[in-house]
């Protein structure tokens, strides 16, 4: 795509807009008479300013026609009473501008409805200011990913915007090998998915939310799944439950596998019997939760408590319990995992493990920004604590 023609007198301003500093003046030729000390080029009898932006690259304005009324960085600088370079540094959050000046420049930009030309910025800085947010469906239900990760995505987008980045929501199959972005956040994707290797091969910084990405330019953000299961079992054990079953999540997901492993380990530590039929294979969905809860309730010696690997499965279990004439909480206790908004509204309200979904999104964005702006930094792993929220679905026996 050809660059936008630049208005005469605004060429330097346009470049300053995206690099945020005064560019070195081109070498003055003996014939040069222009006041800005730029080499002249002649085109159709008109003097055309030519600006050097790198030792081997020169860009010349080839048209002086105004193509739009888009406000320029020069106008912002004039309104704020500062130089063009200072205005650019203020708008690009450079650290060498005082807070007072930065605020004055931002107000001037707002009053002019000014925004940075992203195409020009990408051309000069080789950064798109875009972060791909890839949401897969490795649990088999994309809608479930969006139900849980909706708050994560909102927080992620908000944090990126604070640093002038945009989130681009994609499905794994939508990721174009030729599409450029500065980093990628992966959600609902298997660790060994070919997409992870493909992005790493392109040297794209990767942040996995419950996805472990290999490579130096990667980071991991997730919840403490094992501790959440331990909290649930400790709570039920303290209430006197000894026959406790588990409806597991999709085994190919990190959350599903870690919660199942923690359940087996903790029941063994507590000295609880764990018959094979007490561990049911779900996939985080309501349908699987209902199906497996019905199977547990049909056992000759049914469990007195169920720990489900997601709130959606736990909520479905409440329905299954009522349908066989039992009372959830009194006859069979249920504990979920996630603390979705629906958990507190259920009947009875659902005891669950709360994940801080807002913090997951904020941290994922922060790690992406760190990997972009500090490429020599080391890979980081952040595991967020979880919290037991006790409600009526695990009433005192």
Residue 52 CA from chain centroid, whole number: 38
CB–CB of 62/75 below 8 Å? no
- Tokens at 204, concatenated: 């794209």
In the chain the domains, ranked by start, together with CATH numbers, are: 11-125 (1.10.260.40), 130-223+359-384 (3.40.50.2300), 225-355+389-394 (3.40.50.2300)
- Given a cut of 70, is residue 348 above it in pLDDT? yes
Nearest of 221, 231, 291 to residue 259 by alpha carbon? 231
Q: What is the pLDDT of residue 142?
A: 63
Least confident of 3-12, 152-161, 309-318, 372-381: 3-12
Residue 95: both structure tokens together: 């650290």
**How would you label 217-246 residue by residue, b for 16+ Cβ within 10 Å and e otherwise?**
bbbbbbbbbbbbbbbbbebbbeeebebbbb
pLDDT tens-place string over residues 215-247:
889 999 999 999 999 999 999 999 999 999 999
CA dihedral (258, 285, 388, 242) positive or negative: negative
Residues ≥6 apart with Cβ < 8 Å to 275: none
Higher pLDDT among residues 277 and 146, named by residue: 277
CA distances from 45 to 29, 40, 161, 211, 227 (A): 19, 11, 46, 61, 76
pTM, full prediction: 0.70
Do 218 and 194 touch, CB atoms closer than 8 A?
no
Alpha-carbon distance 206 to 218, whole Å? 5
């Amino acid at each position: 795509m050809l660059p936008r023609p630049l208005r005469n007198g605004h060429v330097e301003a346009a470049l300053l807009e995206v690099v945020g500093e005064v560019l070195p003046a081109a070498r003055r030729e003996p014939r040069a008479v222009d006041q800005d000390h730029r080499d002249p080029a002649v085109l159709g009898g008109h003097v055309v300013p030519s600006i050097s932006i790198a030792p081997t690259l020169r860009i010349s304005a080839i048209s002086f026609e105004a193509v739009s009324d888009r406000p320029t960085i020069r106008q912002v600088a004039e309104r704020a009473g500062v130089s063009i370079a200072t205005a650019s540094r203020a708008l690009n959050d450079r650290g060498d501008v005082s807070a007072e000046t930065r605020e004055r420049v931002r107000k001037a930009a707002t009053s002019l409805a000014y925004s940075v030309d992203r195409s020009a910025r990408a051309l000069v800085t080789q950064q798109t200011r875009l972060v791909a947010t890839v949401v897969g469906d490795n649990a088999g239900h994309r809608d479930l990913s969006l139900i849980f990760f909706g708050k994560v995505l909102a927080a992620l987008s908000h944090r990126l915007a604070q640093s002038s980045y945009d989130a681009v929501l994609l499905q794994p199959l939508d990721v174009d090998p030729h599409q450029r972005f500065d980093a990628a956040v992966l959600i609902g994707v298997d660790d060994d998915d070919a997409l992870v290797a493909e992005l790493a091969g392109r040297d794209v910084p990767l942040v996995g939310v419950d996805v472990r990405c290999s490579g130096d330019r990667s980071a991991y953000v997730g919840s403490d799944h094992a501790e959440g299961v331990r909290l649930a079992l400790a709570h039920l054990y303290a209430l006197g439950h000894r026959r406790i079953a588990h409806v597991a999540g999709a085994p190919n997901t990190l959350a599903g596998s870690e919660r199942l492993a923690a359940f087996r380990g903790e029941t063994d530590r507590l000295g609880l019997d764990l018959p094979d039929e007490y561990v049911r294979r779900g996939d985080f969905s309501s349908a699987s939760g209902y199906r497996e809860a019905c199977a547990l309730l049909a056992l000759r010696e049914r469990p007195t408590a169920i720990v489900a690997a997601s709130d959606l499965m736990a909520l479905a279990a409440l329905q299954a319990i009522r349908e066989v004439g039992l009372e959830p909480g009194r006859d069979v206790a249920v504990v979920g995992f996630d603390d979705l908004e629906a958990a507190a509204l259920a009947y009875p309200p659902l005891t669950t493990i709360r994940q801080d979904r807002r913090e997951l999104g904020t941290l994922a964005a922060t790690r992406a920004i760190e990997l972009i702006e500090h490429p020599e930094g080391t890979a980081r792993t952040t595991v967020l604590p979880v919290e037991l929220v006790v409600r009526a679905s695990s009433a005192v026996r």
